Each structure stands twice: as structure tokens, then as C-alpha cells.
Chain A
Amino acid sequence: MPLKHIIVWVFAHLILITSGLVTADEYTLHRQQMVNVIKDDVHTTEKAINKKSFNKIVMQAMNTVPRHEFVPAGLRSQAYENRPLPIGHGQTISQPYIVALMTDLLEPQPDQRILEIGTGSGYQAAVLAQLVAQVYSIEIIEALGASSTQLLSHLGYDNIKTRIADGYNGWPQHAPFDGIIVTAAISHIPPPLVQQLKKGGRMIIPVGTRFQTQYLTLVEKDMQGKVTTRQLLPVIFVPFTGSH
């Protein structure tokens, strides 16, 4: 190879590497900014969610998972904005604040096993994978399940097990679970999922249209097996207080 070609080759690669590093840095910066926005939102909504801050390890996970990898290439520049984004197939990747809130409400522990119904982009599973021993995730739409499985594997999340199936019946082979997240639209809480929830476990169900998650239902199973649900409005809006 003539010398001038070698120089051009080295120079071109140097540019590529440098630009790559810059992009990665930008994403890191944007991720940090996203985490700060979530912290602000928690502060604003502390009365509604009864928390002054989210668990540090949850925020750390939010600051680690490369959200830009889970959104379509054309939307990467918006990946760290605190908003839901379309990911195709009529699905969305949830607003980062809601992902953090749902994760925090599960009260994840390193030895836990969590079931997710509705893998979607795989982002929520990736966040959970940073915090618990094993994540099981089920997606009903074949194309979406296949792409998220591939992506999670590519990103090295080896503690996430996925399958394409009907989430209503849960995943009995791996039950019981310490926590369950149901992001699919449901007309009632599936009894099999309640059965597969450990005593003391928590199930989170976000309810609302795709771009307007309005509230979360938290299903709790106490140590006696009694099940109660609690509705949380993730914004500070107390409708009955009036002018008081």
C-alpha cells in the first residue's frame, strides 16, 4: 500500500474513532441530563407518589442503560428526552420518568426474579436487569419480540430471558416472581399472574393510552396472601382539595 494511502486510511479511521467517542460522550451527557429531569419530576410529584426520591440504585440503572439503543435510529437524538417515543408496531418506549417510577415501585433486590408482560423495545427489561438476578419477559407481537430479544442479547443482557407468547398465563415454569410488570392493555387483572406473584410481591400495571400514561395500579399480595390494589397518580394533582 503506498504511503499516501496509508496516511489517508489512518486519518479516516482516526476521524471515525474520534466522532464515535464524541457521540458516546454526548449520549452519556444526555443520559445524565435525563436522570436530572427525572429527579426534578420526582421532586415535583413527591406528594402524589409519596416519595422524596427514587432509590439510588434505580437512578443508577437509569443512568447506565443506553436508552438510545432501544429507539429507532431516526429518533436517537430524542432518546433521552423525558417523553414516550414510537418504536413501530403501534408500540411506544415509555417515558423515562414512568420507567423509573415503575422500577422503583417494584422495590427491586439483587436476588429477585421479575416477570415483565410486554417486552416492547426491551428497555424496561434492561433497566430491571441491572438491579435483579433474573428478568423474564414475554411479548405477544412476534416481530417486536424477535427484535428486542436480539437487541438485548447483542447488548449483553444475559440475565434476561424472553419469549414470544400470550402473557396472560404468565410463565409458570419460573414462578413465583417477586415482582411483575404488565404493560399490555387488559380488561381485568389476570388471575394466573396474581397466583404467580410471591407473597409480599408487587405487580405494577400502567393504565392509559399509548402516549398518555395517566396512572399506575399497584397490586400487592401480603404475607397472608391477601391481594389489594392501589391506584397511583404519578402527578401532583389532588382533585378534591379545591381552594383549600
Chain B
Amino acid sequence: MHPAIDDQTVTPPLLSVFILSASALAYEILLIRLFSIVHWHHFAFMVISIALLGYGVSGSLITVFRRWLLENYDRVFIANTLLFGLSSIACFIIVQQLPFNTLEILWDRSQWQRLLLSYLLLALPFFFVANAIALTIMRFHQKIALVYGIDLIGAGIGTVLVMALLQIFSPDAILRILAISGITAGFFALSSFSSRQKQLAAALISLCMLAIFVTPQEWVALRLSEYKGLAQTLLIKDVSLRSSHTSPISQTDVVQSPFIPFRHAPGLSLQSPAGPPEQLAVFRDGDEMTTIDHVTDESSADTGPGEYFDYMSSALPYHVHSSPKNTLILASATGAQILQAHFYNIPKIDAVESDKQLSLLITKQYADYFGWQKLRHKVTIHNISARGFAASEKQYDLVVLGPSGASTGGSAGVHALSASYDYTVEALQSYLKLLAPEGLLSLTLWTSTPARGNLKLFETAVAAMKNAGINAPENNIAWIRSWNTATLLLKNTALTDAEINKVRDFSTSRSFDLAWLPGISPLEVNSYQVLQEPVFYLAARSSLKGSDGGFIGDDFIQEYKYDIQAATDNRPYFNNFFKWSSIKELLALPGQAGISMIGVGYPTLLISLAQASAATLILILLPLMFLKKDKKKSSEKRRNIIIYFLAIGLAFLFIEIAFIQKFTLILSQPLYAVAVTLCAFLIFSGLGSLYVQNRMRAESEYTITVLLRHSVTLIGLITVSYIVVLPLISSSIMALSEIMRIISAFVLAAPLAFVMGMPFPLGMARLQKTRPDLMPWAWGINGCASVLSAILAVLLAIEIGFNGVMLSAVVLYVAAWRSALSPHY
């Protein structure tokens, strides 16, 4: 008896597939949130990408035990749904118990064993889901496209579902919800069972649900790494958590310390006669501390809570501009820059903060503490990204950005993998457009040693000014630095002598160092905060080389050991400084210093890629040992299958990830971009797959070939046209209302996603006709490709930009098409 069903009237358990796919994708996104809170974002990236190899393992297993598994399909399907539910919660609990310290991984070999165990445990839930879906595809091979389409649509809905859940519930509570929803999928698959079997299975399902319900909360509760800022702060006497809020972007914790002040004042001058007032600390994902200043009646009577604002490098623009009437604060976070502008009596303040929760803290929950009542008449907070707001036509005397959060992220390299559209050439150009005549743009960043981010910012600013038609930017820039911050001041016209003198006076009186000023002498730099070499000044000269000022600078930027080239919208990795040419020298440094210098971001990516590649190779090759040898042409056929499914797996995610980045700009909010892109791509791809099912119903091999050719041609054409068109229409879309921007994103994604949903079911359908025993293997290859793709896409984007990633996807689709055309497919 052939275990697969040829009867077209038999319906696959579509509802179960839908629920299971939705739960699995929601679980994947949830794990990223959970591990970002417990450890750090880069660790989450590494663990999840490897854990998804559970899909690859599943393909190998089914290849080997295909016949038995299909013969027992009903039982195996339900068992896998139950195992997903149970393992999704159990594995997380066990992983949390492992004494793993991500920071110690380069010092302590035992940490690698714990990391490996984490991978294996977290791969299990995905392995069970992949088993259930793949077996359904094999079992109902006449309806491959239908099952695959429902799988994709379910995953798309899962994305929206988890985003909605994260708005309401804490991440650990959602873990339980998803475990139960996974088990529910098994319940809906009971219809094919006999009544006795049904009773037995229902009892088992109930038991599993009960087990999840009664799992003690303390087992599931998040155990923050003891090295995170929040965990360490809570160790201080009498410090307590005042409130916590979770959102799909971050977990926000507000902490008070009644006796020991937090005293957060980035780069405060040693000459400051005053320190910061009482503050509440705000932690995002247990780290990146910012503070809310306590504004008392006395302190806020006229100008705000603190003279200390006047002694920070970020106060520079308020001293240089003669009479600012309004200020725009980009990324206002918990309001420190708002209070600083208020301190200088700015009559009208617009603040922009994309994380609504942060602005709610100062305008609602801690409004009295922050003194919001006294500010509200002149401060308006807009919950949109800096870029989104910069698309408006408004004009400001001062536009201010940064510093944000704690200082550790940049130098440790934990944000290296995060795209940032706030600090690109195009971004700075859009900020410059917001300036009124004589207006000033002020950018403050934390410094690091060796200097990196600030030097890249200067180079980016010079590129932006040149793009804006400013021929001699050296006359329009002032740059100062404190012990641990640097402030860059940009103007659309040349700084006047009076303004230049104000910069000098401000810096000297506060013991800040000049890094650049029109007419600066080398003798003026590096006086108070002495660096081993005056790298800020040297970088400035190098950046300005070739402008109309005619500097004969050296090739400092090119020769620098870090990548400090300008960031662009196409390569928006402002926090990545990795340079291949420096790696040998860096790794030769004593102890672990080299790794510290590189930062953890890029190495994480490389390690993940190496691990995923090794695992992929094993998972692709291993099942071949168990497959029946099929005379001649067999190896060529297998090679074509590998190329086809590897290529379409890689290409699908390449395009999806590139669109998340493109839509981040259009939607002005990374969260919306992820939700809209994943949802649109998965759902429309699912619909594309359903269309294929419809067309294939009564037609032949010829239909498959034609559909494949058409879909690949369309993918190529649409992708290339988007590379050209999207930058042209982005600014028009950014000016639309929020709902219209979301609709536009859906409309843009729909046609491309629709055709991208076709190659996989078409490939499987062809395989079904020639080598059905290789179907699970192909499924596994496609799963492995998705894992590789997520890592490779980021690596490629850093190196060649997102347009390059999209073009690579087109090349991969063409390669897949060519392999499918081969007579040996």
C-alpha cells in the first residue's frame, strides 16, 4: 500500500496546519523577544537562526523513515502537534536553567557546550512543527500547493497575532498561550480517527493542556542575565521596580532608588557646578538605561530642573544660535533633551519618539514626576520615526538628535546588526532641510575608544552636505567632545565669526575639546580629554579632503582600522565598523582584547553562518546515505534538486528581509515594517500557492513548467523595477497618513509576494511526479536555506547593500529556474 493519498476528495487537516504554522512563527518571534530580554539581541539572533535548523533535521528524518511515518500519519501528526506544544515551553524552561553567560563565551570553553545544548533544545519545537507540515505535504501530495499555501497564510497570521499579544501580555505569558494553541492544532485533526482513538487522543490532548496550565509561573518567569544593567541596579539597597510594560519592540522597566540617586548626565563637564536632580531609571530589555528627571515646583518655576544641562556637550547649539524660536528633538526618549530645550526657554518644542511607551511614561504614567503639566503647552510629542517626521515641510531654528540610552552598546558592538535609518546620508540631508535660515542641526553621540561612531557620523555629515550642494562644508561644521560624548553642529550656510567664537567660549569654559571648527589650528585640539592621537581632528581633515576648501589631507578614513565610511539608506548599518583588512591585527592582540575591539556583532554573524553552513551540509548529505541509489543520472538529479530548493529558499528570505528594511523607511516604524512585511509576504505567497493549486488541478507537467517560467520572470522584473522605483516614491509615501502608508506597503508587497509563493509548490509537484521519495529531503533543504538566508542577507546587506541583496535574490531565482529546466530534474 502506498501511504500517500491520491484521492483528491480527501481533505488535509488544513485548520490544524494553519494553527500550527501560526503558532510556530509566533513562537519564533516570541523567542527573539524573550532572549533579547534575558540576554542580548545578538544572542537571540544567533540562537534562533540555528534553532530553525529543526526544519532541516525534520527533512532528513522523514527522508529516512518516510514510509513508516506516512503509514502512521494521523498519529504522527497529532503527536507532533502535542510535542510542539510541550517542548515549546519545556525547552525554554530548561534553557533558562542552563548557567550560560554570553559575555564569558570567549573566555570559558564550557560556555560553548551550554550554547550547543541551547541550540539542540530550541531546535526541538521547530523540528516537531516541520514534521507535521512536511508529512501533510507528502501525504496529500495532490494538494501540495494547497497545504503549503495554508502553511504560509497561517504563518502570516501568526506574525500579526504575536505582535497583538505582545501589546497585551508579558512575553512569558504568551509562551503558555502559544503552547496551548499548538496543542489545539492536534485537537482539530482528530476527525480522521475512529471514535475510540478519538477519545484516547482527546484525553491525551487534555492532559497536555493541563500540564501547561499547571506549570508554575516561577519556572516560566524570565531570568535576566545578572550582567544586565537592570539586574545589577536591583541589587542596590532599597532599589525597587516601579512599573513594567511590554510591547513588541521592548520591555520597559522603571526603577526607583530612594536613597542613592542615579545621576545620569552623559558627558557632564568637570566644571559643572551642579549635578542632575533625582531621577527614575528606565531600562529597555533590562539594559540601555535612560532616566526621567524629577521636576519639582521650585526647580521648574522658570527654566526647568537643572543647571547641569548647561554643562553637557549637547548644550552647544543653544549657546551658538542667537535666539531660537523653536526646537525639534529627534528621538526624545524619556525627555532629557526636552528639559534641556526648556531650560533654555525655547518657546515651542516638537519632540519625536518612535517608541510610544517611552513618551507615555513622561506624559501619562510619570507625568507629575516629570512636570509634564508645565511643559504640555509648548511641547508636542509625535510618535513616529525621525525619518518619518523629517519628511514634513516644517522649519526649525534648532534640530537636535541624541545622545540616547547607555553608552555600552556602541563600543560593545551589540547593535552592529541593527539597521539604523536615523544616521544615514539621506537622513542627515532630510534633517538639514528642516532647518530655518540660520538654523542649526546638532548631533550628539557617545564616544568609544578607539573612536568609531563619531568619526563615521562626521563622514556621513560631510557626504550629506555635499549631496545637498554645499561645496565647502568645512565652513559649516563645528565639532566638540567631552569625556564620553561628542557634539556635531551643522549649518546650511557658513558659520559666522560670532558663532565660531561662541563655540570656542563654550568649549573652553567647560573643558571640552575642539575637534573641528572653521579655521581651527592643530594646536587647539586634544587639550582636556587627551587621546593617544587626535583622531577626531585627523578624521575631520580626511573627510573634508577634496572639498572646495582644498585640504591636502591623508587617507585617514581609508586606512583606519574600522569601517567609518558614510552610512547610506542602502547600507544603513551605522553601528557596524568591522573591516576585513583589520581582522588579522585585531585577533593578534593579547588576551581577548582583539575580540573586544571588533565588537560582538559581526563575529556573531560569522559564527552563526559557519554553524548553519556546517549543519546544512550535514543535513543535506546525511539522508543521501539512506536513499536508494537510482542508477545513472541520479547524482545530477540530486544536484539540481539541491540547487533548486536551496536557491528559492535563500532568495525568498533575501527579498523578504530587504523589504523589511525598505518598509522601515516607508512605515516610519521598524515594528510595523516587520509585521506588515512578514504578514504581506506570507499571506500573498500563500495565495500564490493556492493559485498554483487551482491551475494544477486538471493540468499537466506543461502547466508546471510554464507557471515556473512565468513566476520566475515576474519575480525578476518586479524586483528590479522596485530597486529603481522604491527610492523615487518613498518620500511621497512617507508623507501619507499612517493607514495609507500601511496600505501602500501591502499593495507594493502583494504582486511580488504572490509570484514568490509559486516556485516551492511547483518544484515539489514536479518532484512528486519523478522522485516522490526525495520530497522530504527537498523540504529539509529548503528549511536549511531559510536559516542560511537570514544570516547571509544581513552579511550581504552590510557588505553590498540591500539593493545588492535583492539582485542576488533575482540571480538565485534564475539559477533555480535553470536547474528546473534541466531534463535531469
Chain A positions near chain B (C-beta within 8 angstroms): 40-41, 44-45, 48, 82-84, 86, 88-91, 95, 97, 140-144, 164, 166, 168, 185, 187-191, 194, 207-215, 217, 227-244
Contact = CB atoms under 8 A, between A and B. Distances in A.
Interface stretch (B259-267, B387-395, B614-622, B654-662): B259-267
B72 interface: no
Given A84-B107, A214-B597, A235-B590, A191 B535 contact: no
Contacts of B412: 208-209, 212
B112 interface: no
Contacts of A97: 590-591
A16 to B, nearest CB: 30
Given A86-B101, A227-B270, A237-B585, A188 B260 contact: no
A122 B756 CA distance: 62
Contact of B265 (A48, A187, A233): A187
Q: Of A84, A88, A187, which is in contact with the most chain B CB atoms at under 10 Å from its CB? A: A187
A211 B270 contact: no
Interface of B: 101, 103-104, 106-107, 225-229, 231-232, 235-237, 259-261, 263-268, 270, 272, 275, 406-408, 411-412, 448-451, 483-484, 511, 527-533, 535, 538, 555-556, 558-562, 585-586, 589-597
B103 A209 contact: yes
A189 B483 contact: yes
Q: Which 9 A-B pairs have the closest CB atoms?
A: A242-B559, A188-B268, A90-B226, A212-B596, A215-B449, A235-B593, A239-B561, A211-B103, A166-B260
Nearest to A233: B449
B530 A187 contact: no
Contacts of A45: 590
A244 B556 CA distance: 11
Contacts of B226: 88-90
Given A141-B236, A237-B561, A237-B586, A228 B483 contact: no
Given A83-B592, A141-B236, A237-B585, A214 B449 contact: yes
B803 to A, nearest CB: 30
B268 A228 contact: no
Nearest to B582: A239
Nearest to B103: A211
Contacts of A243: 559
A229 B529 contact: yes
Contact of B596 (A82, A214, A228, A236): A214
A58 B380 CA distance: 58
Contacts of A231: 449, 529-532
A143 B234 CA distance: 12
Given A90-B225, A237-B586, 14 more contacts: A41-B590, A88-B226, A90-B226, A90-B231, A144-B235, A188-B483, A207-B484, A209-B103, A209-B408, A211-B592, A214-B448, A237-B585, A240-B535, A242-B560
Contacts of A229: 483, 528-530
Contact of B450 (A44, A217, A236, A237): A237
A208 B600 CA distance: 13
A187 B104 contact: no
Contact of A188 (B267, B532, B589, B597): B267
A242 B555 contact: yes
Given A239-B560, A242-B555, A187 B103 contact: no
Nearest to B409: A209
A90 B232 contact: yes
Contacts of A241: 559
A83 B527 CA distance: 34
Given A237-B561, A237-B589, A189 B532 contact: no
B502 to A, nearest CB: 23
B571 to A, nearest CB: 21
A233 B528 CA distance: 17
B331 to A, nearest CB: 17
B235 A41 contact: no
Contacts of A164: 237
Given A83-B592, A86-B104, A239-B535, A214 B270 contact: no
A210 B227 contact: yes
A141 B235 contact: yes
B590 A211 contact: no
Contact of A233 (B267, B511, B532, B555): B532
A196 B509 CA distance: 22
Nearest to B599: A212
B407 A187 contact: yes
Contact of A234 (B103, B266, B406, B593): B593
10 contacts: A82-B591, A185-B229, A210-B103, A212-B592, A228-B530, A231-B532, A233-B450, A235-B593, A240-B556, A242-B559
Nearest to B533: A240
B136 to A, nearest CB: 46
Q: Of B227, B265, B483, B561, which is in contact with the most chain A CB atoms at under 10 Å from its CB? A: B483
A240 B261 CA distance: 40
A171 B558 CA distance: 48
A230 B411 CA distance: 18
Contact of B589 (A95, A191, A236): A236
Nearest to B597: A237
A86 B589 CA distance: 23
Contacts of B406: 187
Contacts of B561: 237, 239-240, 242
Contacts of A230: 529-531
A12 B235 CA distance: 44
Nearest to A145: B237
A215 B589 CA distance: 14
Nearest to A216: B449
B562 to A, nearest CB: 7
Nearest to A40: B590
Contacts of A213: 596
Contact of B591 (A89, A91, A95, A240): A95
Contacts of A242: 555, 558-561
A190 B591 CA distance: 31
